[in-house]
Structure 1
C-alpha cells in the first residue's frame, strides 16, 4: 500500500488532505481515486489507514479509518557528518541512512571542510521521500550545520564516538566499542579528515576513538557504514536475546 506524508495530522483527526506534491503523485502518477485505500504518516510515529474521498484538480482528500502508533526503536542513531564538496554525495547518504534507519542527522564544519553552506530544504525532501519509500513512520531529525567546536560543546547523551583511522591501529572497531540498545552519536569527518587538534578536542569532550575498518572511506561511505554498523549490532543483539 502507498504511504504518504502529512505532518499536520494528529491521532484525533478523522480526515485530512495530502500536500500538493503528494496529491499530484497520488492522482497523476499512481492514478488513485475515491474509495482507494492509502496509508498516511505524520512522521512522528503515527500511521493512518485512510480511504480517498476526493481526488481532483483541487487536491486529494481522505477519511481516516484507523490509527496505529509505531513505537520508537529501543536504540537511537545520530550521525554527525561534515557536508561534502559534492552535495550529491551527502544527499545519497541521507537517502540511504533514512532507508536503513536513523533517528538524527547533524551537520558540522571542521578545519578541513570544503563546504560550509548547506540548505536543509532539499535534504528534508530527500529524507521524507526515503521515509515513504521504506514505509517508515518516523522522520529523522535534521540539524543545521554548526562549527565542530560548538557541536561537541553541546550536551550529548549515550555513547559518543569519533570515527577515525589512527596511525597506530589501536582503536577498536565501532561494532565492538558500542553496546546494544543505547543512544549513539558518531562523528564523521570531512573529506580532508579531522585535524590532529580536532581529534584531541573531541576526545577531551568525552568521545571515544573508533575505526570503521582498515580501509580509508569517503565521508558519505563512512557515515553510512557507521549507521549500518549500529543497526546491525542491535539486530544481532535482538536475535541473541
Structure 2
C-alpha cells in the first residue's frame, strides 16, 4: 500500500478484502507494506462494510533480499495473458524493474500498465516482498539503448552468426557492480540489426541455454538466473 505510514484508511478494495475475506474487526492487528522497503504492524480502529481505518503500531524496515538492481527489458507477447503470467512470477522470484521494448518484430505495440500494476501489486503481497518492482512504459528498442543503464548489460538472442556466451556464466563472474539488465526479444526474436546495435553499444551477447524458449519463459528464465547468480 503506497504511503501506508501516512494514511489512516485502507483503499476501498483492500478494505472490502479485509472485512469480507479476512473478517477483521476493530482491535485486530494487520500487517501493511509500502512497496519501498517497509512493513508496518497496525491495528484496526474502525471496521465497516466499505471502510477500514487503522493506526500504525510499529514500523519494520526490511533488508533487501538480493544484491544490486535487477532489470528485465522484454518485448511483450501478442497474447497479453502470457506476459501477465510472467510479470506475476518474476515479481514472486524477485525483480527490481521491468521495461517493455518495441522491437522490429514485435506483435504488440501497446501495454496496459494499470492492469499490470494490479498484477504486480497482488504478487508483491502474495510473496511478501518489501519492494514493489518498477514497471515502465513501452519504449522503442533504439531509444532504450540510448538510456544510461548502470551495471552489467546483456542481450539474449538466438542468432548463431553473432558470438554468444552463457548468461548464467557471465552473471557468476566477479564484477564491480551487482546491477544487471537482461534484454529478451519478441516471439520472432530481435532483428539481427538490433542485436548488432546492442553489441556495438556495449551490451554482451548471451544465450539462455540450449532449449528454445517462448518469450515469457525466456524472460522468467533470465530473472531466475539473475537471482541464482546472487547466491
TM range (shorter): over 0.9
Runs (5+) with no aligned partner, structure 1: 1-5, 236-241
CA contact (8 A) 2:43 2:55 kept: yes
5+ long unaligned stretches in structure 2: none
Task: Say if 2:214 is the partner of 1:234.
Answer: no
1:87 corresponds to which of 80, 83, 90: 80
Q: Cα offset for 1:166?
A: 3.0
Cα distance change on mapping 1:74 and 1:134 into 2, 3 Å: same
Q: What is the alpha-carbon root mean square deviation over aligned residues?
A: 1.5
Shift of 1:168: 5.4
2:19 paired residue among 27, 32, 44:
27
- Native 8 Å contact 1:165 1:214 kept in 2: no
Q: For 1:32, what is the secondary structure of its paired residue? A: coil
TM-score (norm 2): 0.94
1:56: how far off? 0.5
Aligned partners of 2:161 and 2:46: how far apart in 1?
Answer: 64
- Of 167, 190, 194, which residue of structure 2 is paired with 1:194? 190
Pair 1:71 & 2:67 matched: no
1:53-96 C-alpha deviation (Å, 9 max, x unpaired): 11102411111111011133322210000010000000001000
Counterpart Cα distance in 2 of 1:217 and 1:63: 48
Which shifted more, 26-35 or 156-165?
26-35
- Displacement of 1:28 after TM fit? 0.7
What is aligned with 2:156? 163
Aligned to 1:130: 123
User: Runs of at least 4 residues of structure 1 off by over 4 A?
Assistant: none
Equivalent-residue separation in structure 1 for 2:203 and 2:111 (angstroms): 25
* Residue 146 in structure 1 maps to residue 142 in structure 2: no
CA distance in 2, matches of 1:143, 1:53: 36
CA distance in 2: counterparts of 1:130 and 1:58, whole angstroms: 23
